[in-house]
Structure formats: structure tokens, C-alpha cells
């Protein structure tokens, strides 16, 4: 269909807008409004939605320029414009922020009322975008009390902007406002869900990753490094004699010691590493791409740093300060083994460190030991828990 024309049901020939009577024009405007509601609002995102509305207006009506100009959150600047038109607009600095103190569009946003300009040459606020434009209609895009932007219709002749046309554009602006509102609600819900997902991966006591996040990352790193044939190392760090510490100094002091240990672990972790609370007084460091020697050196440095932190432990059989035992395992991930093999091996090494006197680092690294760890009963399931 050509611009501003409607089919003649008798001859199938298009009837120009100027040749339509008032009833036909109202029917045309209603049909266009229905089209906008049915088609233009089916965009996959806000950008395509707004573009569809502008395209529909320009394609169907004698309005050679249609634009939707969006405001920032503070309603002080226009920051985004979507437009369609047969006439070329002079570039406007919308992207850098167009203040609402400027232009007829700014006046519309400030007053929150439609602005019908029948002769742009006589309007003191009009900023020319194309010299052929003679008239302009601006409608605030507002949902309840929130101003989102302005719908801008520019014409080469004023007579098109009669009461019926303006009423249709008022309705279009309401549709746009509702669409923007629901898109923003959807965006806010998406962000809220992302935040909840992030929170669900954080340990509430220490602020580091929790067991769920660790399990997820272990599986991902195992699969990736198996493809790349690169090593994956794991440290399990256990606070020595932690129950006696809680008994002697109280759980609040024990909690603070765990938080301090978490911060120390983070200090030694790299950008690609993961520090997580594994459970109770155990923390883990997942070290993708690290060879065994690097993991052992890190574990020893961490053990020394914990001693140097000098957190008092009056009930420890090892030292007068908090100490840690560390189990280390490392391998190149193998399709014949599950990721939990690495955990079982580090757990076995940690048990060896505890049995060896605590405050030390022990290692499991060879394939035989890793496979054997699968059939080993962890002290976690044994009758006497390690301390």
C-alpha cells in the first residue's frame, strides 16, 4: 500500500488520503491503530518494537517523519531515538544527551502535555530537523507518573494533524508507554533473577562461593580442561582443631576466623581460580591450568600465611595460633573419571595431613592414587570425624 492510501473495496484501487472523507479517514486511523497493536508490538525487543511503530506510521499515513525519543532515568535528557521517515533528518546529538530544556520535544517532556505545532516557523522552541517540515505533533510517552519519552510526528502540511489523527497518536503513545513499562519490568525481573542466582552461589558466612557454586565450576573446568588437555589442581584447606576453638572462644570467634581464612585464600587465588566454602571449616581452591608443583607451592605459602596471621587458638594441640592442614590433588581431566575423583583424592591427602600431625601439606597426584581415591572411605563417613 502506498503512503497515506486506502484500498477502494469497489475497484481495489488505492484511495489517496486527501480523497477520503472523514469517515474513511477515521476507519483508516482505526485500522492502523489495530495494526500497530497487533503487529508492531510483536517485536522481540524494545528496539524492534519501537522501530515497528515508527515504520508503520510512516508507511500508512502522510507523516513523512515519525520518531520516538526516550528519556534517561532522571528525565533530564533525551538519550535515545528511534525513527523512520521519507525525509532525511539532520543528525541530532541525542546519543550524547539532549537536555529537556531545549526544543519542542523538551517542552513536551517538561510540561507532560501534547504539543500541536501547526506552523513550526512560529514556534520559538522548534529545532529544525528537515526544512520541508511545516507542522509537528508531540505526545508525552508516560506510564502513570513515570515519563519515558516523547512520540514525535512531523508533517509537510498541517491539515493532516486534525483531531482524529491526534487522538490516534495519543493512543499510540499510550501503547508505547505500556510496552516500555512491561519491557522494563521484564528487564528488572531478569536482573533480579540474576542477582538471586548470584546470591544462591555465595556462602552467607564467608562471602565466598558456596558448595553449589564449587560443584558447578568443577564440572565446567573438568570438561573444558579435558578438551584442552590441561591440568586441574585442587586444594582442600581445613582449619585444625576447629571444634576446640569454638568451645574455647565461642562460635562468633570461630566464624571470624573462618572469614579471615577465606580472605587469605582469596589473596592467593588467581583470576581464573575459584575459592569456595566446601563445608564446615573446610575451604577449597580450584586451580584450572595449574600444574601440581604450582598448586603445592601455593598451598605451602597459604599455610605459612595462616600461621603468620596469628589468630589466637588457646585450645589447639598444634600451636598457639590457628593453623591449617591442606590436601592437594592434580591431574589432567580424563573422560574415564568423574570430576569428583579430584575431590576424593584431595580429601585423602588432607586426611594424611591430619594424621601426620596437622599444620602441613600433603599431595595426591598420580593416576593410580586418583583412581584409588574413588574406593576410599573418606573420614567424613568414618566413625570419628577428623579435627
Asked if residue 96 and residue 189 are part of one domain, the reply reads yes
233 shares a domain with 187: no
184 shares its domain with 69: yes
What's the domain count of the chain? 2
326 and 353 Cβ atoms separated by less than 8 Å: yes
Looking at 145, 162, 196, which one is the last position of a domain? 196
User: For residue 304, is it within any domain?
Assistant: yes
pLDDT at 104 over 80: yes
Residue 249 located in a structural domain: yes
pLDDT at residue number 93: 59
Q: Are residues 70 and 105 in the same domain?
A: yes
Residue 110, in any domain of the structure = yes
The whole-number pLDDT of residue 184 equals 82
| Average pLDDT of the chain, as a whole number | 87
Task: Look at residue 385 and tell me if it is in a domain.
Answer: no
* Residue 362 within any structural domain of the chain: yes
Q: Which of 169, 196, 223 is the last residue of a domain?
A: 196
Q: Cβ–Cβ contacts within 10 Å for residue 157, how many?
A: 13
- Cα(370)–Cα(55) distance, integer angstroms: 64
For residue 290, pLDDT beyond 50: yes
Most confident residue range from 21-35, 77-91, 182-196, 303-317:
303-317
Q: What is the pLDDT of residues 215-236, one digit of tens each?
A: 999 999 999 999 999 999 999 9
378 in any annotated domain: no
> Mean pLDDT, to the nearest integer, of 258-262?
97
Residue 8 has pLDDT above 80, yes or no: no
Does a structural domain hold residue 358?
yes
Strand partners of residue 152: 67, 138
Range of the domain at 85: 5-196
Which has more pLDDT, 95 or 226?
226
The pLDDT value recorded for residue 72 is 92
Say yes or no: 29 and 84 in one domain: yes
How many angstroms separate the CA atoms of 120 and 104, rounded?
10
Last residue of a domain, one of 196, 220, 246: 196
Domain identity same for 189 and 215: no
User: Domain for residue 287, yes or no?
Assistant: yes
* Residues in contact with 44: Cβ distance below 8 Å, sequence separation at least 6, in sequence order: none
Q: What is the mean pLDDT of residues 252-279?
A: 96
Q: Say what the pLDDT of residue 13 is.
A: 54
Say yes or no: 174 and 319 in one domain: no
- Looking at residue 226, its pLDDT comes to 97
CATH of the domain at 356: 3.30.70.270
Q: Are residues 62 and 175 in the same domain?
A: yes
Give the full edge-to-edge strand order of the sheet including 98-99.
98-99, 77-85, 65-71, 146-155, 135-143, 115-117
Spell out the residues 6+ positions from residue 357 whose beta carbon is closer than 8 angstroms to its own: 318
From the list 325, 326, 310, the residue with the least C-alpha distance to 359 is: 325
Instruction: List the CATH number of the domain containing 60.
Output: 3.30.450.40
Q: Is 387 exposed, middle or buried (CB count within 10 Å of its CB: 0-12, 13-18, 19+)? A: middle
- Check whether residue 12 and residue 129 sit in a common domain: yes
Tens digits of residue pLDDT in 19-45: 788 888 888 888 888 888 776 567 668
Neighbours of 53 (CB within 10 A): 27
Question: Is the CB of residue 139 less than 8 Å from the CB of residue 169?
Answer: yes
pLDDT band with cut points at 50, 70 and 90 for residue 95: low
Examine the domain organization and report whether 228 and 94 are in the same domain: no
The full 3-state SS of the chain, as one line of letters, equals CCCCEEECCCCCCEEEHHHCCHHHHHHHHHHHHHHHHHCHHHCCCHHHHHHHHHHHHHHHCCCCEEEEEEECCCCCEEEEEEEEECCCCCCCCCCCCEECCCHHHHHHHHHCCCEEECCHHHCCCCCCCCCCCCEEEEEEEEECCEEEEEEEEEECCHHHCCHHHHHHHHHHHHHHHHHHHHHHHHHHHHHHHHHHHHHCCECCCCCCECHHHHHHHHHHHHHHHHHHCCCEEEEEEEECCHHHHHHHHCHHHHHHHHHHHHHHHHHHCCCCCEEEEEECCEEEEEEECCCHHHHHHHHHHHHHHHHHHCCECCCCCCCCECCEEEEEEEECCCCCCCCHHHHHHHHHHHHHHHHCCCCCEEEECCHHHHHHHCCCCCCCCCCCCCC
- 217 and 184 share one domain: no
Q: What pLDDT, on a 0 to 100 scale, did the predictor assign at position 182?
A: 84
Of 21-35, 211-225, 242-256, 277-291, minimum mean pLDDT range:
21-35
340 and 233 belong to one structural domain: yes
Share of the chain above pLDDT 70, in %: 87
pLDDT in tens, 360-379: 999 975 555 555 544 444 44
Amino acid at each position: 500500500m502506498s503512503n497515506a492510501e486506502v484500498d477502494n473495496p469497489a475497484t481495489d484501487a488505492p484511495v489517496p488520503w486527501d480523497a477520503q472523507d472523514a469517515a474513511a479517514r477515521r476507519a483508516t486511523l482505526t485500522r492502523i491503530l489495530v495494526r500497530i497493536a497487533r503487529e508492531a508490538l510483536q517485536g522481540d525487543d524494545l528496539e524492534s518494537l519501537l522501530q515497528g511503530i515508527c515504520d508503520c506510521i510512516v508507511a500508512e499515513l502522510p507523516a513523512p517523519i515519525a520518531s520516538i525519543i526516550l528519556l534517561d532515568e532522571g528525565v533530564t535528557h533525551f538519550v535515545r531515538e528511534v525513527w523512520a521517515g521519507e525525509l532525511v533528518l539532520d543528525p541530532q546529538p541525542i546519543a550524547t544527551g539532549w537536555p529537556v530544556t531545549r526544543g519542542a520535544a523538551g517542552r513536551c517532556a517538561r510540561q507532560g502535555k501534547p504539543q500541536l505545532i501547526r506552523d513550526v516557523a512560529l514556534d520559538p522552541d522548534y529545532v529544525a530537523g528537515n526544512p520541508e517540515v511545516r507542522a509537528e505533533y508531540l505526545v508525552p510517552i508516560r506510564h502513570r507518573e513515570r515519563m519515558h519519552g516523547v512520540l514525535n510526528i512531523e508533517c509537510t502540511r498541517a491539515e493532516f494533524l486534525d483531531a482524529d489523527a491526534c487522538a490516534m497518536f495519543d493512543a499510540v503513545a499510550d501503547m508505547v508507554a505500556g510496552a516500555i513499562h512491561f519491557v522494563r519490568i521484564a528487564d528488572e525481573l531478569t536482573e533480579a533473577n540474576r542477582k538471586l542466582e548470584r546470591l544462591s552461589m555465595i556462602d552467607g558466612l564467608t562471602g565466598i562461593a558456596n558448595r553449589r557454586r564449587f560443584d558447578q565450576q568443577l564440572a565446567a573446568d573438568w570438561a573444558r580442561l579435558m578438551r584442552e588437555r590441561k591440568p586441574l589442581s585442587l586444594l582442600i584447606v581445613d582449619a585444625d582443631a576447629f571444634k576446640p576453638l569454638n568451645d574455647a572462644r565461642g562460635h562468633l570467634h570461630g566464624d571470624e576466623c573462618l572469614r579471615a581464612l577465606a580472605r587469605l585464600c582469596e589473596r592467593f587465588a588467581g583470576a581464573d581460580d575459584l575459592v569456595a566454602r566446601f563445608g564446615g571449616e573446610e575451604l577449597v581452591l580450584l586451580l584450572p591450568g595449574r600444574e601440581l608443583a604450582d598448586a603445592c607451592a601455593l598451598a605451602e605459602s597459604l599455610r605459612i600465611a595462616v600461621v603468620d596471621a596469628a589468630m589466637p587458638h588457646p585450645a589447639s594441640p598444634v600451636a598457639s595460633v590457628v593453623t591449617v592442614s591442606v590436601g592437594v590433588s592434580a591431574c589432567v581431566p580424563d573422560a574415564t573419571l568423574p570430576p569428583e575423583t579430584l575431590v576424593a583424592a584431595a580429601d585423602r591427602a588432607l586426611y594424611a595431613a591430619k594424621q601426620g600431625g596437622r599444620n602441613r601439606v600433603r599431595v595426591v597426584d598420580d593416576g593410580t592414587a586418583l583412581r584409588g581415591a574413588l574406593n576410599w572411605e573418606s573420614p567424613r563417613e568414618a566413625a570419628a570425624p577428623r579435627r
